[in-house]
Amino acid sequence: MSAFQGVDERPCDCFYRRATKRSSEDLICVTYDRPFIQKGLKAGNRICPRTQQVLSHTILTPNHLVREMISQWCKNRGIELSDPVLLVNEDGITESERDHFLSLLQKMSSGLPEQKEAAKELRSLTKRMPSFRALFGESIHAIPQLLSPLSEGKFEDGIHPELQEDVITTLLNLSIHDNNKKHVAESPMVIPLLIEALQSGTIQTRSNAAAALFTLSALDSNKALIGKSGALKPLIALLDEGHPLAMKDVASAIFNLCITHENKARAVRDGAVRTILKKIRNRMHVDELLAILAMLSSHPKAVEEMGELGAVPCLLRVIRETNCGRNKENCIAVLHTICLNDRTKWKEIREEENTYGTISELAQNGTSRSKRKASGILDRLNRTVNLTHTA
């Protein structure tokens, strides 16, 4: 009786752990109530309480034998036992849903028709149900199983476009779940396959790959990992293509990654400044691209390149034409940095001020940061004029 106290209405689950001090084929099975196992796992405990060994995964395996013993014990005593298939754990997942999840992962190693069917359903489930996203964090094997059709190169004609899109979009869905971000990014195949998808997928696949990199880059450790993996170059290439469906996701990913100094250097090296200025001149996603340009302006090489590529007249025109205070602020901040580092640009600024009064207007009516940067430029202009007269 004591062994079953408190479990008459709960499913029993067990950890399977291959014993290290016994035969390689021996398995140690330890059975506990699911709620108590989950509570320990959620607290970060990855040690088996019986063997004191690290668990190789955290997927719970139903112990049907013990469950049947409990069921029979309850039946003999007239106690009603909840249907374990309908029993929902604290993550909102039923046993049947968990079994279905595992069966879908197994199908990802089957033939192409089964893979396509499973990938499409996993995409749908991880979009609609946060609890299904969380399931991928319970096992180190779940993500490799999901990605196996893309990583194994099984098909003579290459990766099936529809299958690739469903798998990459599932990765995007998983990366939205905060607890998954580190696990997903550090899975060995994820970043390389996302980079491959940026270059070779359908435009929807490429856009979703960029969006996945954006959500994963919310963690600083992931920013470094993604940058080192070479993701910025294909992101900038996709930005240069200018496809409307992908532009916003790509710009968001580049912005997030360039928060770190190392990634700013990589972005500048991979042609970000030239591409961004070209798109701003074509009035494409000006808001997002100005924000990236302002961030890159803290890198000396980027500032030098902006001056060489004609950023000054381009940004002055944006200030005149836009009604967006944030865009004006980003423009004047970049101009302030360029002019401090390149005295040859003061002539263009002075001509702009004499013709349109652009800087003075911003010094009076801009945001607090815009006023500060514009006033700094005006002070420099006045100092230059006074020095000229003195000379």
Q: Express each pLDDT in 102-114 by its tens digit.
A: 999 999 999 999 9
Same domain, 53 and 194: no
Q: Domain of 109: which CATH number?
A: 1.25.10.10
With cut-offs at 50, 70 and 90, classify the pLDDT of residue 17. very low
Range of the domain at 34: 1-19+27-78
Tell me, yes or no, whether 257 and 282 share the same domain: no
- Residues 133 and 64 placed together within one structural domain of the fold: no
Q: Using CA atoms, how far apart are residues 136 and 143, in angstroms rounded to an integer?
A: 7
- Higher pLDDT, residue 45 or 310: 310
Q: From residue 119, how far is each of 68, 95, 153 by CA, in Å? A: 34, 21, 16
The whole-chain average pLDDT of the chain stands at 85
Measured CA distances, 345 to 61, 232, 268, 313 (Å): 69, 30, 21, 10
The whole-number average pLDDT for the span 231-236 is 98
The helix or strand, by DSSP H or E, that contains position 321, with its residue range, turns out to be helix 311-321
Tell me: do 192 and 303 sit in the same domain. Answer: no
pLDDT at 321 over 80: yes
Instruction: For residue 89, tell me if it sits in a domain.
Output: no
Residue 60 lies in a domain: yes
Q: 141 vs 15, which has greater pLDDT? A: 141
60 and 152 belong to one structural domain: no
Residue 92 lies in a domain: no
Whether 88 is covered by a domain: the verdict is no
6 shares its domain with 118: no
pLDDT at 354: 94
Domain assignment of residue 350, yes or no: yes
| Lowest-pLDDT choice from 18-22, 99-103, 174-178, 296-300 | 18-22
Same structural domain, 340 and 370: yes
Which domain-ending residue is among 210, 231, 261?
Answer: 261
The stretch 279-300 carries a mean pLDDT of 97
Look at residues 208, 227, 261 and tell me which one is the last residue of a structural domain: 261
Q: Is residue 206 part of a domain?
A: yes
CA distance 72 to 310: 82
pLDDT category of residue 140 using cuts at 50, 70 and 90: confident
90 falls within a domain: no
Q: What is the pLDDT of residues 193-206, one digit of tens each?
A: 999 999 998 999 99
Confidence at residue 389, expressed as pLDDT on a 0 to 100 scale: 42
In this structure, is residue 134 part of a structural domain? yes
Percent of the chain with pLDDT over 70: 80
Are 252 and 118 found together in one domain? Answer: yes
Do residues 253 and 308 both lie within one domain?
no
- Report pLDDT for 305: 97
Say if residue 188 is in the same domain as residue 113.
Answer: yes
pLDDT of 86 > 90? The answer is no
Residues 254 and 302 in one domain: no
Domain total in the chain: 3
Same structural domain, 156 and 233:
yes
Q: Which of 261, 287, 306 is the last residue of a domain?
A: 261
Could you read off the pLDDT of 39-79 as tens digits, one per residue? 666 655 667 777 777 676 666 677 777 777 777 777 777 77
Q: Would you place residue 382 in the very low, low, confident or very high pLDDT band (cuts 50, 70, 90)?
A: confident
* Residue 267 reports pLDDT greater than 80: yes
Q: CA 11, CA 63: separation in Å to the nearest integer? A: 8
- Which CATH number fits the domain that encloses residue 32? 3.30.40
